[in-house]
Amino acid sequence: MITYKVETSPEFQKQFYKLDRVLQERVRKILDSLPFRNWKQDALAGDLKGFYSHHFEDNHYRIIYTVQDYILKILAIWVGKRKENFYKDLRNYLKRTKQLK
């Protein structure tokens, strides 16, 4: 069985610590389960192709991540409550960090 290492970006960590303790624990459990998920069901499309979105808490929150098979790493990039500007803010962050063209 292939083992993936789950890492988090600095932006993810910043957003994570803004969540209440209950949500933080939920996010930790989700991160631990990411290597065992069927990523295809989480795949995003369009300009966010190559990124994945795990929905939780009745679809009100998202964890955005990438899977880098060549180094067996899952990088959690973004976490937060889905709101009107969620994906716009995500795109701006990805462009700023040159992860999206």
pTM over 0.85, yes/no: no
Kind of pairing, strands 5-8 and 73-81? Answer: parallel
* Per-residue pLDDT, 69: 78
* Per-residue pLDDT, 38: 85
Looking at the DSSP bridge assignments, the partners of residue 68 are 73
At residue 89, what are phi and psi to the nearest 5 degrees?
Answer: -60, -40
At residue 44, what are phi and psi to the nearest 5 degrees?
Answer: -95, 165
Look up residue 70 and give its two tokens. Answer: 């060549």
Mean pLDDT by 10 residues, the chain (101 residues): 85 92 94 88 93 86 87 83 86 87 69
To the question of domain 5-96 being in CATH 3.30.2310.20, the answer is: yes
Measured CA to CA, the distance from residue 56 to residue 27 in angstroms comes to: 9
* Per-residue pLDDT, 12: 92
